[in-house]
Amino acid sequence: MQIEALYHQIQTAFSAQANPENALAMRRYMRDQFDFLGIKTPVRRALIKDLATVEFAHTDLEQLARALWLLPQREYQYAAIDVLALHKKKLDVSQLSLLLTLAQEKSWWDSVDGLASVANRVLFANRTQQSQVHMDSALQHSNLWVRRIAMIHQLGWRLETDEARLFGYAKTLAHEEDFFIRKAIGWALRDYARWQPEAVREFIETHRGLLSNLSVREALKHL
């Protein structure tokens, strides 16, 4: 099926499920930053679940994601992430640039963390020192949302986590005052603490003067 046809198919399906009352509540929740159709997550995902069986070429998948991202209602950015997630096994590190580019457009925690989840799976499936270098570069990016993705890209990797990178990234970003960066540091450390609690405790004790109170509080939440 042509990408243009899929694009219009998604628009038609979403428009038919628009709910103005839901849209108002969703817009308020996102601090009036985005317009919404008012489609809740389970419904949205059900509308596009059949796309999991479409045989996309990498270029077609990227084209559809970019086209959806340009639409004004927030559900279309969510749909772009959903489509990428449905085909995450077909993605490789060459698509990281697409994910990081989208993260810089219409940015907020909801879209960025969704993209981070896709990047997480791509990098885990291709975890080599060479692939991790992409996140080393992302950590130095001028855009804070790209840096957030770098900080949380190992969530759920358990004992496969590159501990040196995790702690090194936390130290690199620790001086930043942005809430979402500080939260990301704490989130990443808390996740790893499930598997290596003593290592996280030692890291925090050693670097407590460097880390923000928010990062420390988040990291220690379940310890």
Compute the average pLDDT of residues 171-181.
98
For residue 189, give every residue at least 6 positions away whose Cβ sits within 8 Å of its Cβ, in sequence order, or none: 166, 170, 200, 203, 204, 215, 218, 219
Does 129 score more than 90 pLDDT? no
Query: pLDDT digit string (tens) for 52-80?
Result: 999 998 899 999 999 999 999 999 999 99
Query: pLDDT digit string (tens) for 134-160?
Result: 999 999 999 999 999 999 999 999 999
Does 192 score more than 90 pLDDT? yes
CB 197 within 8 A of CB 166: no
CB 215 within 8 A of CB 186: yes
How far apart (Å, rounded) are the C-alpha atoms in residues 216 and 132?
25
How far apart (Å, rounded) are the C-alpha atoms in residues 160 and 157?
5
HSE at residue 164, side-chain half, CA atoms within 13 A, is 3
How far apart (Å, rounded) are the C-alpha atoms in residues 116 and 99?
8
Mean pLDDT of the chain: 96
Instruction: Return the closest-CA partner of residue 219 out of 175, 172, 142, 166.
Output: 166
Specify the pLDDT at position 130: 84
Whole-model pTM above 0.85?
A: yes
Proportion of the chain above pLDDT 90, given as a percent: 95
Instruction: Return the closest-CA partner of residue 221 out of 202, 199, 200.
Output: 200
Specify the pLDDT at position 1: 58
Query: pLDDT digit string (tens) for 28-51?
Result: 999 999 999 999 999 999 999 999
Residue listed under structure tokens 């796309």: 51
Give the model's confidence band at 128: pLDDT under 50 very low, under 70 low, under 90 confident, else very high.
confident
CB 151 within 8 A of CB 181: yes
